[in-house]
């Protein structure tokens, strides 16, 4: 006779079930309150602004955009409909993520109850409710909580499908209805994010693992002399139908998935460290995004030990269920349990099947997506822990399940009746919850530490809007920030440089942007420069150099990852290269890189435009812009040496450094200003000096210099593989 699933629940008194429902509803409401608290406190950042930007398009335009973007369109479709009902405020844009995250909580409780029992389900819900990782992305207008919800729902349906298929005697097509439901949910997840394919792979691997273990348990039952049931193809038919239906539903979008990452220009070339990515992922899963690196590394060993203990306890509990499902063998296999008079054990279906399936299903749903995300990021060097958010539910259930085994005190062989495992479980749960509360404390005090704040486009745009004059304009140093800026400032009165719609690490500003500036700033008497992620699109600080050359900076501010400058402009401005280079050189170094000249000037070391980051309490520094130009493809990454020497040849200041962008990445025939700041000695007298400049191999022994160095057009070779430029310091000026 079969034991129905949740028999203890269905036969429980009505009052107990009512209290259970009230407790579940109360905890879900608490989870909702945590996720909606201070929802609009911080500014929208770039990714969220892109979500808003797409809602301003028509549906055909939105579809075309997402076909060429790194995320498919389902979340944007839902948000498009939502904003037409409630508007586009920060609160309204983020609320769907809160809703998806809140719906995940009761579903996660139900999923954990199937796999772990009641105690494990409540602990899972508590850990998820206070998870800083989940709360953080519940307050972001992006698709990650929808992806988590759909991924968890598909996993629940997959478990139900397997339970249906591996009953004692399933009908040939008994699992087709769950298979169809699973296919629809998984296809929806794939239309939300491409990485849902990794969870699909995890489900198939879990099915193979569970099927193998199920076959072993059945063979154990048959060894006692029970009649051998005829084999059935129902599991394979239903699984094949589910997989095929997923592909059919997703086939219209499949070509975009295949070609997407070959076209992505938003990452640096090279390789990322798998160990470093795994470390970041573990810290984020356990402590979220709002614990400082140094503190997180101190807490990480504790979380690692707790995770290992949880996995071991869960595997032990699953092993005990498998052993309990197999009848004892008698000598010679001559008699079965029924023949010996022992009570017949129920078949491995219902609740027992779910418990046996817990370790393979949870470990597959955790390890497979994480491993595939790390492997893809190693191949295509673009990574963020949120890309593996599909694995977060399995992580929480594993953690809670193992701790529940220890706390409940009833695992196999009575080991849980001892006080030590129970104390370990309670202390471990307290440690996890306390670190979660600490992380949430950091997150809900957004103006306490800038490290945890998002880029503040809101206050930056507000200041510019309040202070800008009719004869002034705005420059954005990263064109891809346009959606975020437009959300707060509007679409008029600003210019993106470079003019790119999405992040492109190859779109680097060089000095030729002066022609564009001449057109934009014609007849203007002032300009506001807004900088964000300028290390990507303006790593050489081309815009500040041009604007400080033709105008005068008179205002500066920083607003959480944003920089704001204001420049007064004269009536006549020149944007030619000769105006930037005050000391022309034109020397070819190693036949690969040309030094066109330099622009030295004196300033206070605490200037906000310093490049090297030196501070001097009012001490003078020499700001130096070296204008380089690659004349051929540079194969190696060179370092720059700069020595300031007095008339006697004694070094007064040194400035060895790596350029803002590796020399191997310099486009040919484009001029870049390599800017550094030399800290000058106190009371350095006026007089004649000379600058010694060149390139060298920073990774080779003895640091050999790149040569030969040849002056153009004379062809004269310079000794010592260096360029020597005489200068004169007089009255705070460099001539």
- The per-residue pLDDT for range 550-563, each reduced to its tens digit, is 999 987 888 878 99
Rounded Cα gap, residues 722 and 269, in angstroms: 31
Evaluated on CA atoms 152, 153, 158, 159, the torsion sign reads positive
> Residue 149 is encoded by which pair of tokens?
């919800």
Q: What does the pLDDT average to over 461-488? A: 95
Q: What does the pLDDT average to over 530-551? A: 93
Residue 30, pLDDT score? 98
SS3 594: strand
Nearest to 723 by CA among 524, 538, 585: 585
Residue 6, pLDDT score? 45
Confidence bin at 421 (pLDDT 50/70/90)? confident
- In order of 122, 237, 318, 417, the CA distances from 410 in angstroms are 17, 39, 13, 6
Give 188-221 pLDDT, tens digit per residue: 999 999 999 999 999 999 988 877 766 666 555 5
Q: What does the pLDDT average to over 582-603? A: 92
Residue 410, pLDDT score? 58
Residue 120 has pLDDT above 90, yes or no: yes
Rounded Cα gap, residues 641 and 635, in angstroms: 19
Residue 343, pLDDT score? 38
Place of tokens 């008994």: 174
Residue 348 has pLDDT above 70, yes or no: no
Q: Where are the domains of the chain?
A: 7-260+271-330+345-443, 457-568, 581-734
Contact 190/246 with Cβ under 8 angstroms?
yes
Confidence bin at 450 (pLDDT 50/70/90)? low
- In order of 33, 45, 78, 88, 93, the CA distances from 82 in angstroms are 21, 20, 6, 9, 8
Tell me the CATH number for domain 581-734. Answer: 2.70.50.60
Rounded Cα gap, residues 631 and 365, in angstroms: 51
Residue 322 has pLDDT above 70, yes or no: no
Nearest to 55 by CA among 86, 83, 96, 33: 83
Residue 461, pLDDT score? 96
Rounded Cα gap, residues 107 and 159, in angstroms: 13
How many residues in the chain?
735
Helices (runs of H) and strands (runs of E) counted in the chain: 24, 16
Cα 721 from chain centroid (whole Å): 44
Give 323-339 pLDDT, tens digit per residue: 444 444 444 444 433 34
Residue 173, pLDDT score? 60
Residue 468 has pLDDT above 70, yes or no: yes
Q: What does the pLDDT average to over 532-549? A: 93
Confidence bin at 162 (pLDDT 50/70/90)? confident
Residue 473, pLDDT score? 97
Round the average pLDDT of the chain to a whole number and report it. 86
Residue 649, pLDDT score? 85
* 419 vs 332, higher pLDDT: 419
Q: What does the pLDDT average to over 298-305? A: 97
Residue 420, pLDDT score? 85
Backbone angles phi, psi at 350, to 5 degrees: 60, -140
SS3 342: coil
Place of tokens 């498009």: 80
SS3 475: strand
Residue 366, pLDDT score? 97
Rounded Cα gap, residues 623 and 273, in angstroms: 35
> Residue 609 is encoded by which pair of tokens?
């435009």
Confidence bin at 564 (pLDDT 50/70/90)? very high
Residue 236, pLDDT score? 72
Rounded Cα gap, residues 183 and 369, in angstroms: 18
**Residue 178: how many other CB atoms lie within 10 Å:** 20
Rounded Cα gap, residues 483 and 53, in angstroms: 6
Residue 156 has pLDDT above 90, yes or no: yes
Q: What does the pLDDT average to over 124-136? A: 97
Give 363-411 pLDDT, tens digit per residue: 999 999 999 999 999 988 889 999 999 999 999 999 999 999 999 875 4
What percentage of the chain carries pLDDT values higher than 70? 84
Confidence bin at 235 (pLDDT 50/70/90)? low
Place of tokens 């812009």: 625
What percentage of the chain carries pLDDT values higher than 90? 62
Give 246-301 pLDDT, tens digit per residue: 999 999 998 888 776 556 666 667 788 999 999 999 999 999 999 999 999 999 99
**Residue 340: how many other CB atoms lie within 10 Å:** 11
Contact 37/30 with Cβ under 8 angstroms?
no
- In order of 293, 297, 392, the CA distances from 300 in angstroms are 10, 5, 17
Residue 178, pLDDT score? 84
Residue 7, pLDDT score? 44
Give 634-649 pLDDT, tens digit per residue: 989 999 999 999 988 8
Contact 106/409 with Cβ under 8 angstroms?
no
Confidence bin at 169 (pLDDT 50/70/90)? low
SS3 225: coil
């Amino acid at each position: 006779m079969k034991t129905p699933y949740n028999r203890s629940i269905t036969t429980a008194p009505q009052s107990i079930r009512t209290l259970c429902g009230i407790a579940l509803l109360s905890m879900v409401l608490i989870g909702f309150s945590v996720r909606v608290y201070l929802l609009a406190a911080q500014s929208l950042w770039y990714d969220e602004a892109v979500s808003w930007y797409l809602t301003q398009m028509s549906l055909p335009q939105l579809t075309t955009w997402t076909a060429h973007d790194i995320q498919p369109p389902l979340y944007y479709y839902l948000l498009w409909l939502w904003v037409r009902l409630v508007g586009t405020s920060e609160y309204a844009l983020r609320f769907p993520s809160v809703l998806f995250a809140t719906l995940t909580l009761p579903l996660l409780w139900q999923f954990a109850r199937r796999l772990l029992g009641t105690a494990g389900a409540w602990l899972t819900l508590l850990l998820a409710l206070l998870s800083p990782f989940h709360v953080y992305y519940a307050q972001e207008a992006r698709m990650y909580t929808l992806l988590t919800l759909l991924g968890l729902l598909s996993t629940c349906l997959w478990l139900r499908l397997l339970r249906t298929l591996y009953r004692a005697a399933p009908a040939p097509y008994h699992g087709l209805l769950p298979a169809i439901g699973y296919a629809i949910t998984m296809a929806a997840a794939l239309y939300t994010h491409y990485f849902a394919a990794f969870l699909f792979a995890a489900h198939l691997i879990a099915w193979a693992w569970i099927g193998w273990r199920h076959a072993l348990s059945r063979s154990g039952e048959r060894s006692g002399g029970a009649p051998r049931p005829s084999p059935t193809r129902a599991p394979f038919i239903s699984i094949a139908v589910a997989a095929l239906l997923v592909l059919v539903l997703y086939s219209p979008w499949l070509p975009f998935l295949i070609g997407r990452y070959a076209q992505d220009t938003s990452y640096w070339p090279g390789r990322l460290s798998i160990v470093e990515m795994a470390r970041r992922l573990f810290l984020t899963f356990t402590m979220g995004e709002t614990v400082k690196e140094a503190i997180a590394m101190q807490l990480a060993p504790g979380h690692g030990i707790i995770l290992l203990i949880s996995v071991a306890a869960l595997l032990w509990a699953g092993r005990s269920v498998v052993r309990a499902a197999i009848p004892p063998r008698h000598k010679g296999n001559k008699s079965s349990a029924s023949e010996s008079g022992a009570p017949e054990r129920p078949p491995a279906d219902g609740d027992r099947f779910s418990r046996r399936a817990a370790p393979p299903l949870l470990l597959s749903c955790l390890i497979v997506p994480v491993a595939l995300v790390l492997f893809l990021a190693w191949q295509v060097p673009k990574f963020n822990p949120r890309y593996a958010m599909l694995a977060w539910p399995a992580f929480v259930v594993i953690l809670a399940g193992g701790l529940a085994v220890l706390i409940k005190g009833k695992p196999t062989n009575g080991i849980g009746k001892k006080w030590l495992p129970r104390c370990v479980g309670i202390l471990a749960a307290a440690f996890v919850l306390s670190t979660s509360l600490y992380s949430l404390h950091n997150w809900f005090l957004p103006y306490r530490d800038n490290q945890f704040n998002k880029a503040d486009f809101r206050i930056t745009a507000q200041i510019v809007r309040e202070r800008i004059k009719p004869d002034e304009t705005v420059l954005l140093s990263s064109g891809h920030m346009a959606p975020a800026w437009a959300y707060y400032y509007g679409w008029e009165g600003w210019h993106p440089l470079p003019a790119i719609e999405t992040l492109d690490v190859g779109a680097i500003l060089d000095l030729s942007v002066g022609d564009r500036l001449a057109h934009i700033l014609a007849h203007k008497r002032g300009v506001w420069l807004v900088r964000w992620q300028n290390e990507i699109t303006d790593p050489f600080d081309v815009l500040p150099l041009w604007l400080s050359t033709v105008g005068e900076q008179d205002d500066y501010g920083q607003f959480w990852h944003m920089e704001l400058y204001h420049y007064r402009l004269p009536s006549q401005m020149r944007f030619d290269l000769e105006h930037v280079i005050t000391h022309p050189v034109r020397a070819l170094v190693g036949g690969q890189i040309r030094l066109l000249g330099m622009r030295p000037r004196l300033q206070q070391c605490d200037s906000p435009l310093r490049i090297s980051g030196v501070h001097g309490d009012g001490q003078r520094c020499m700001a130096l812009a070296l204008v380089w130009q690659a004349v051929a493809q540079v194969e190696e990454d060179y370092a720059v040496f700069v020595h300031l020497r007095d008339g006697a040849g004694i070094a007064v200041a040194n400035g060895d450094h790596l350029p803002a962008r590796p020399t191997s990445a310099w486009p040919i025939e484009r001029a870049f200003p390599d800017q550094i700041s030399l800290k000058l000695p106190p009371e350095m007298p006026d007089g004649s000096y000379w600058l010694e400049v060149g390139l060298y191999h920073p990774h080779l022994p003895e640091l050999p210099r790149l040569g030969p160095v040849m002056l153009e057009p004379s062809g004269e070779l310079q000794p010592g593989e260096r360029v020597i430029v005489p200068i004169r310091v007089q009255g705070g000026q460099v001539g």
